[in-house]
Amino acid sequence: MQIDIEAEKREILNRYKLLIKACKRRLEKGDKEIIRKAFEVAVEAHKEMRRKSGEPYIYHPIAVAQICAEEIGLGTTGIVCALLHDTVEDTDLSLDDVKGLFGEKVAQIIDGLTKISGVIDNTSSIQAENFRKVLLTMSEDIRVILIKLADRLHNMRTLDHMKRDKQIKIASETLFLYAPLAHRLGLNTIKTELEDLGLKFTDVAAYTDIATKLKESEPERKRFIQKFIEPLKEILSEQGFKFKIFGRPKSIYSIFNKIKTKHVTFEEIYDIFAIRIVIDSHFEQEKSDCWKVYSIITDFYHPSPERLRDWISTPKSNGYESLHTTVMGPEGKWVEVQIRTTRMDDLAENGYAAHWKYKESAAEKENKFENWLLRIREMLENPDPNALEFIDDFKLNLFSDEMFVFTPKGDMKTLPVGATALDFAFEIHTKVGEHCIGAKVNHKLVPLSHELASGDQVEILTSSKQSPKDGWLEYVITAKAKSKIKNCLKDQRKRIAEDGKEIMRRKLEKFKIEFTTKNINQFCNFLKLPSSQELFYRAALNSVDVNDIKEFVKFRENPNKKPKKAEAPKIEQLVTSARGKTDMLVIGDDLQKLDYKLAPCCNPIPGDDVFGFITIGEGIKIHRVNCPNAIKLLSNYAYRVVKAKWVNDQLISFLAGLKITGTDEIGIVNNITKVISNENNVNMRSINFDTDDGLFEGTIMVYVHDTKHLNHLIANLKKVKGVNNVQRIDEKL
């Protein structure tokens, strides 16, 4: 192919002029010259390079700068960095050159962009480490990630020219990381485009299918929207509002998600589009104006009471403000209506870009945004050694919807949906979390694992004697609480191991084994323990004892004889006698060494039919055979299932949940608690009662020894006047 160099030069200049036009509004004295300089440096640096499409490479940095100016609203420094963003990585230009030409700040941002250019995907932990780097750099200067988003957007727009495997890889990363980031930064337009393009390259068939159907249904949709808004236009004008009203189809990606998660067809999705009303309003009057519009619309169309969302009184943490309602439109169709002001609309669509325009009024939003960055920094300060797990936690917090809960004094806290009382405690303060024993939610006592709901008022109960337990990790979902608990458990283990070290030293000396690193390591290997700390820890808990040392001595005398301990436990063999007093359960044939935990999904107690399940990283968990998760575990992971059997022992109590229903007789709660306290050795952990129209429903968590003990209690509770039914429940409360 013949390339017309002169024509290309003209085109490059044309594109540069368009860029300058896009930033014109914000240019101050001298800015134009700096941008021109960056442009010339970039042209020179990339002059030999071409994109996969055959175009001059410089088209790409110019396009990225254009997006930064037009769609993100970055200032001169951002534009300069966007023009130079690929130079240090891909050309002979060095970071020092950039620093010399454009100063410290530009060099710092370019450095960040170069560092995070490594590939991020969701398949390996090396990439997980890169992911952390992205976030770390991002929290240094937000422009790094904004330029990176623009870079990604342009690459996605021009992805057609890449090879198929590259397309899939880049598109997956986009859906995995960049689209959620854009969402969090409030860049709705960019987020939507990234998602749609991401889908286009990862699931071509689904994308084409939805795109075609949207196109086909367009005339019908337009007709309906017209019919819907016609009368509203009239009334809103009469009332003196200056407004825009229009219908907007949902993005292809969000329709795709709905089809997938709700198992519906395209035709069955009723909210394929939403009506948006954008009104001009003074900042002080925004809220009341929006509600006035709401009132006008619902005078005309009947609203669904469950579908009112007020993001104006309580904006989302990415700054989103809007009033959403769903009304019954013509032809018996539900229609979502979004009401907002011009300012809110601008911020929702363009996020950061719009902040410049509304600086004063958006001060609070800026604050929220800063808080969000702060949380990211916090997460990064306590990185998990397991980077993949860190990503899971982080993504959970990035993706999940949020809810608002209140302290007793009425301060609002934002938590991801699904967060528990314990998450809330750690949100308040690490010390509060560590000593949390339970909470009062809306004045009702609940355990620390209680899942919170939006609007809850939560008071945390603490005790100085409390400290984090292993099981706590199952009760929390926020990255913050998880990392704090893990750190604490690690410290606890370390302290216990310190004590264990002395115990081990004394024991070994009795057997004339010198306490040297070499011997300790040998002993660890012999017991197949990962570290000496683990050995000392177990010594302190007495789970490594004299018998182990005797075996070890024999092994040292005759190393070739295979030690008994090293044999893999055979699942089918079952030992039926317990040695340790606290061993309530025997598992496989290696009963001494196997720690187990009771699964919180079904809370087994002695007497229940149980099985053990070997988890990754958390040892063996005991489930009831009729646990709701049992089928899945037994069918998919049969090889990880071990037999387990209870050993008779009455010393330990186990937690079980009961649901009691009946009629609301006077004193019934009192009578129920009396029965429980009269029962031998039963302790109550929590109790919750709800009454509704003469009926009551209660849940009680009690500590019992076994099923016999529990059944006895159930029988007695059934005798209480007014009680209709008493049922054991699976979940923890």
Active site residues: 89-90
Which one of the spans 150-158, 301-309, 546-554, 601-609 is the region binding Mn ion (CB under 5 A)?
150-158
Task: Compare residues 64 and 584 and give the one whose CB is closer to Mn ion.
Answer: 64
CA dist., res. 55 & res. 63, Å (int): 13
- Can you say whether the dihedral through the CA atoms of 156, 162, 164, 166 is positive or negative? negative
DSSP class of 470: G
**Min. distance of Cβ 88 from Mn ion in angstroms?**
11
428-487: contacts with Mn ion (CB under 5 A): none
CA dist., res. 442 & res. 433, Å (int): 19
**Min. distance of Cβ 154 from Mn ion in angstroms?**
7
**Min. distance of Cβ 405 from Mn ion in angstroms?**
42
CB 25 within 8 A of CB 32: no
Query: Computed over its alpha carbons, how large is the radius of gyration of the chain?
Result: 32
Helix (H, G, I), strand (E, B) or coil at 157: helix
CA dist., res. 490 & res. 498, Å (int): 12
Task: Compare residues 151 and 474 and give the one whose CB is closer to Mn ion.
Answer: 151
CA dist., res. 215 & res. 196, Å (int): 15
Task: Compare residues 64 and 594 and give the one whose CB is closer to Mn ion.
Answer: 64
CA 71, distance to chain mean position in Å, is: 27
Query: Which residues, 6 or more positions from 306, have their beta carbon under 8 angstroms from its beta carbon?
Result: none
Which one of the spans 146-154, 178-186, 232-240, 331-339 is the region binding Mn ion (CB under 5 A)?
146-154
CA neighbours closer than 13 Å in the CB half-sphere of residue 95: 12
Binding mask 85-104 for Mn ion (x = CB under 5 A): -x------------------
Task: Compare residues 155 and 707 and give the one whose CB is closer to Mn ion.
Answer: 155
Which one of the spans 148-156, 175-183, 286-294, 344-352 is the region binding Mn ion (CB under 5 A)?
148-156
CA dist., res. 630 & res. 650, Å (int): 27
Q: Where are the alpha helices (DSSP H) in 541-598?
A: 546-557
Straight-line distance from the first to the last Cα atom of the chain, in angstroms, rounded to the nearest whole number: 71
For residue 555, CA distances in Å to 168, 501, 529, 537, 548 come to 55, 22, 16, 22, 10
**Min. distance of Cβ 398 from Mn ion in angstroms?**
23
**Min. distance of Cβ 94 from Mn ion in angstroms?**
18
CA dist., res. 544 & res. 427, Å (int): 38
CB 481 within 8 A of CB 488: no
Cα 606–610–614 angle (5° rounding)?
120
Task: Compare residues 61 and 468 and give the one whose CB is closer to Mn ion.
Answer: 61
Burial of 589 per CB tally in 10 Å (0-12, 13-18, 19+): middle
Containing 536, the helix (H) or strand (E) segment is helix 532-540
**Min. distance of Cβ 166 from Mn ion in angstroms?**
14
CA dist., res. 349 & res. 364, Å (int): 18
Backbone angles phi, psi at 209, to 5 degrees: -55, -50
Task: Compare residues 83 and 687 and give the one whose CB is closer to Mn ion.
Answer: 83
383-422: contacts with Mn ion (CB under 5 A): none
Which residue has the closest beta carbon to Mn ion? 151
Are β-strands 596-598 and 620-624 bridged in parallel, bridged antiparallel, or unpaired? Answer: parallel
Please name which of 720, 574, 560 lies closest in space to residue 644, comparing C-alpha atoms: 574
Task: Compare residues 86 and 456 and give the one whose CB is closer to Mn ion.
Answer: 86
Q: Where are the alpha helices (DSSP H) in 356-447?
A: 363-381, 387-399, 421-428, 430-434
Task: Compare residues 181 and 605 and give the one whose CB is closer to Mn ion.
Answer: 181
**Min. distance of Cβ 207 from Mn ion in angstroms?**
24
**Min. distance of Cβ 85 from Mn ion in angstroms?**
6
Task: Compare residues 71 and 86 and give the one whose CB is closer to Mn ion.
Answer: 86
Which one of the spans 90-98, 107-115, 144-152, 546-554 is the region binding Mn ion (CB under 5 A)?
144-152
> Bridge-partner residues for 597, per DSSP?
621
Which one of the spans 78-86, 648-656, 658-666, 667-675 is the region binding Mn ion (CB under 5 A)?
78-86
Which one of the spans 80-88, 396-404, 481-489, 494-502 is the region binding Mn ion (CB under 5 A)?
80-88
Q: Token pair for residue 670?
A: 């009192």
* Total of residues contacting Mn ion (CB under 5 A): 2
**Min. distance of Cβ 90 from Mn ion in angstroms?**
8
- Tell me how crowded residue 215 is: count the other CB atoms within 10 A of its CB: 9
CA dist., res. 595 & res. 618, Å (int): 9
Task: Compare residues 151 and 393 and give the one whose CB is closer to Mn ion.
Answer: 151
**Min. distance of Cβ 86 from Mn ion in angstroms?**
4
Among 111, 141, 151, 289, binds Mn ion (CB under 5 A): 151
Binding site for Mn ion (CB under 5 A): 86, 151
